[in-house]
Amino acid sequence: MGTLELRALVREIPDFPKPGILFRDISPLLRQPEAWQEVVSQLGAICDRLQPELIVGIESRGFIVGMSLATDRRIGFVKARKPGKLPPPVEGVEYELEYGSDRLEIIRQGFDHRPRVLVVDDLLATGGTAAACAELVERVGGELCGLAFVVELADLNGRAKLPAGVPVESLIVY
């Protein structure tokens, strides 16, 4: 199964969560074990190139993607979460959204040896959350070796917000 077949399993939902938005839903991919295996295999090839020592997954679908990949590659997994969800000590970063701001946090422990880190999520849209996570990884001592996404919405130009010179990989690009 290749990228074209995976693309057919991403559901398009118009006007969700609000009018004018076309939501890309990976739930059908998650329901098909062979398709999800292909997602993990393709992300695994990215890991082979970038050689991360840790995977950081962004709340919440990034947990599914990241833990699947970390387990497959037999490397550690770390959660990046919304505020107040992780026990201290945490490091946090505020970031801007289309309308308002948010905060992302990560547990500081486990980054002492400056591990190579791959940040993963299900979707790259405007790039704000992924950029905040990249900043967090570097703030706690990780060496950001790349960012990987299952789906990217290229028209929203999220890549422009991500750190220059760091590889960005997406399996399905709209």
Helix (H) or strand (E) holding 143: strand 143-152
Task: Return the DSSP state at 160.
Answer: G
CA nearest 6: which of 20, 22, 19, 28?
A: 28
Q: Is 158 exposed, middle or buried (0-12, 13-18, 19+ CB in 10 A)?
A: buried
98 is catalytic: yes
114 is catalytic: no
Angle between helical axes of 61-73 and 33-50 (0-180°, round to 10): 70
- Number of alpha carbons in the 13 Å side-chain half-sphere of residue 157: 2
Of 7, 53, 61, 143, the catalytic one is: 61
Q: List, by residue number, the catalytic residues.
A: 61, 98
